Structure formats: structure tokens, C-alpha cells
Homo-oligomer: A and B are copies of this chain.
Amino acid sequence: MNLPDPTQLAWSSHLNTALELAATLAFALSGVIEAGRKRLDAVGVCVVAFAAAFGGGTLRDLLLDQRPFFWVRHIEFLWATMALCVLAMFFMRQRHLKLTERAILWPDAIGLGLFTAVGVDLSVSLQQPALIAVLMGVTTSCFGGVLRDVLCNEIPKALSDHRPYALWAFVGGWLHLLLLDVGSPAWLALSTTVAVTAGLRMLSVHHGWQLPVWRS
């Protein structure tokens, strides 16, 4: 495979960081919402929010043996998430949950694409094989939600709600690899992957697309 220059991947780290922060907070809010639904206590809300926001990237760094973890390098993400939890507990009521869930649809979809691309980029820069890189992309973007649901004692939504989510991460991961492989500049590969993945996710939400049902 024609591997991209890893240094090239650091292209526009400021915009990246802003997008990552927005997506991280959207993931954290999905944790706050689920913890609120389950009537967890204040500690539970924070833990589930952190698990949702940082679980995916942490597992990726663990599997790829990357230290320090991304949240040690971006410690402001931890503080922002903590502030979000405190604010949510002061200002959010049960009746806000539905509203918030719709408000985070877009940032969540962007996070799905962005974190997939980030996971693929990191794996490629570590010379992992293509399939591993794609699976690391899916892990980065989807494992946080799985961990959130396991902590709340639910079957993970990503595995059971028949609405394509991880599937688009998988598709987006291969697309991203393909784009890097044909020599696209990193900024183009990243924005295409994010746009396509987030677009597919939003389309499937709005049109109620369903994963094929297990034929029994």
C-alpha cells in the first residue's frame, strides 16, 4: 500500500481539535442523557459521560500501544467534559433529554466520521494492515457508545437497534484508506470521509433505514 507521510497528517490541527472537541462533547452528552434516563446519581452521570466520550479513543490507544493517551495530550478535553457534566446536572431536566438527543445528532454524526478517520490515520501512520486500520477506526468511533450502554446495563444500541451506525464507520474507514491510497491530500481525505460518513448517518436517521433483519 502507498502509505501517506505521517507528518502530512498534522495538516490543520487547530480545526481538527475544534471538531474533535465538539464531537467529544456530543458523545459525552449522549452519556449524560442515557445516565439521566437510567436515573444514575451524579457520579454515575460523570462516569458514563467520560466512558462515552473517551472510551473509544482509549481502547484504540491501548490496542495500538500509543502512550501517552490522547486525553493526556489534550487534558483540556477532560476539563471540558467535566464542566459539561456539572452544567448538565444543574441545568438539564428530564424534559430536555429528547431535545438534547436531537440537538446532538449532527455533532454525533460528525464525530462518527471524524473519529473513524482519526483512528485510520493513526493506524496507517503505525503501518498497520488495511483491515486493522479500518477496525481501529470503527473502534475509535463506536466503542465509547458500547461502553456507555454496558455501564448502564443495556444491550449496546450499536449492536441491537438495527439502525446503521458502526456500519457507516466501517464504510467510512475503507473510503478513507482508499482516498489516502490514491494519494489524496490529507485534508481532502479527511473532509470527504467525514462528509460521507456523517451524511450517510444522517440520511439513515431521517429515512429510518434499517439493517437487514436476521432471517429466522
User: Chain A residues in contact with chain B, CB under 8 A?
Assistant: 35-36, 38-45, 47-48, 58, 62-63, 65, 67, 69, 72, 75, 78-79, 89, 93-94, 128-129, 131-132, 135, 146, 150-156, 158-162, 164-167, 211-216
Say whether, besides A154-B153, A165-B43, A214 and B36 are in contact (CB < 8 Å).
yes
- The one of B38, B47, B152, B214 in contact with A39, judged by C-beta atoms closer than 8 angstroms, is B214
Q: In angstroms, how far is the closest chain B Cβ from the Cβ of A116? A: 14
**16 CB-based A-B contacts, threshold 8 Å:** A40-B159, A41-B160, A45-B214, A47-B146, A47-B166, A58-B63, A62-B63, A63-B69, A75-B129, A78-B131, A78-B135, A146-B151, A150-B150, A151-B155, A151-B156, A153-B154
Chain B hits for A167, CB < 8 A? 42-43
Known: A41-B211, A42-B214, A47-B158. 18 other contacts (CB 8 A): A39-B160, A40-B159, A41-B159, A41-B162, A41-B214, A42-B212, A43-B159, A43-B211, A44-B159, A45-B214, A75-B129, A75-B131, A78-B131, A78-B132, A93-B216, A94-B216, A150-B153, A151-B159
Chain B hits for A35, CB < 8 A? 159
Q: Which of A35, A58, A214 has the most CB of B within 10 A?
A: A214
Q: In angstroms, how far is the closest chain B Cβ from the Cβ of A135? A: 8
Chain B hits for A42, CB < 8 A? 167, 211-212, 214
Are B45 and A75 within 8 A (Cβ)? no
Q: In angstroms, how far is the closest chain B Cβ from the Cβ of A29? A: 14
Q: In angstroms, how far is the closest chain B Cβ from the Cβ of A204? A: 12
Cβ-closest chain B residue relative to A72? B132
How far does the alpha carbon of A47 sit from the alpha carbon of B169 in the complex, in Å?
13
- The one of B40, B58, B214 in contact with A160, judged by C-beta atoms closer than 8 angstroms, is B40
Q: In angstroms, how far is the closest chain B Cβ from the Cβ of A83? A: 12
Are A48 and B151 within 8 A (Cβ)? no
Chain B hits for A215, CB < 8 A? 93
